């Protein structure tokens, strides 16, 4: 392993020092562990999903906020809960299990779109809290 000098912002160093103290590790090890986590290759998305996420960068802020706040329709949430309960009890049919898998995939794609839209908004300078993403009643 090669040794390199790296200038670290004071706030980053302070946080690493806090973690190091609470975990009884050297600060260098805490920082190295974080860097190693960054080097893990991220999973790739199917081309259609990646294209969908890439297209979000062209959308207006208002449209991105709409996507970031999007929720799975309540009737589907209710159906998913019924199917998850049946799955937990071992009473789910194979057809119901396939239906549940489709809902889970739909939910994962929704969460990915929401996360990407939120990330773009953050890069555009917006700050928000979890309250900004609560469903409107």
Ordered mean pLDDT values, 10 residues apiece, the chain (137 residues): 78 90 90 82 82 94 94 95 96 96 95 93 88 70
- Domain ranges within the chain, ordered by starting residue: 8-40, 47-133
Which pLDDT belongs to residue 1?
61
> How far is residue 11's CA from residue 8's CA, in Å, rounded to a whole number?
8
Which pLDDT belongs to residue 137?
58
> How far is residue 65's CA from residue 120's CA, in Å, rounded to a whole number?
10
Which pLDDT belongs to residue 110?
94
For residue 16 the two structure tokens come to: 């690493």
Which pLDDT belongs to residue 34?
86
For residue 74 the two structure tokens come to: 């309540």
Q: Which of 111, 93, 115, 114 is nearest to 103 (CA)?
A: 111
Q: Which residues contact 116 (CB under 8 A, 6 or more apart)?
A: 53, 56
Which pLDDT belongs to residue 42?
64
Let me know: does 85 contact 94? Beta carbons within 8 Å: no
Let me know: does 112 contact 49? Beta carbons within 8 Å: yes
> How far is residue 8's CA from residue 25's CA, in Å, rounded to a whole number?
18
Which pLDDT belongs to residue 4?
75
pTM of the complete model: 0.64
């Amino acid at each position: 392993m090669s040794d390199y000098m790296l200038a670290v912002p004071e706030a980053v160093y302070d946080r690493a020092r806090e973690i190091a103290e609470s975990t009884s590790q050297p600060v260098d090890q805490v920082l190295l562990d974080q860097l190693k986590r960054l080097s893990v290759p991220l999973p790739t998305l199917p081309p259609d999903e990646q294209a969908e996420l890439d297209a979000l960068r062209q959308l207006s802020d208002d449209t991105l906020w709409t996507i970031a706040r999007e929720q799975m329709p309540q009737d589907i949430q209710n159906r998913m809960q019924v199917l998850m309960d049946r799955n937990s009890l071992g009473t789910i049919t194979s057809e119901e299990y396939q239906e549940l898998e489709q809902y889970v995939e739909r939910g994962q794609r929704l969460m990915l779109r929401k996360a990407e839209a939120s990330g773009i908004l953050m890069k555009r300078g917006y700050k928000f809290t979890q309250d900004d993403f609560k469903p409107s009643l």
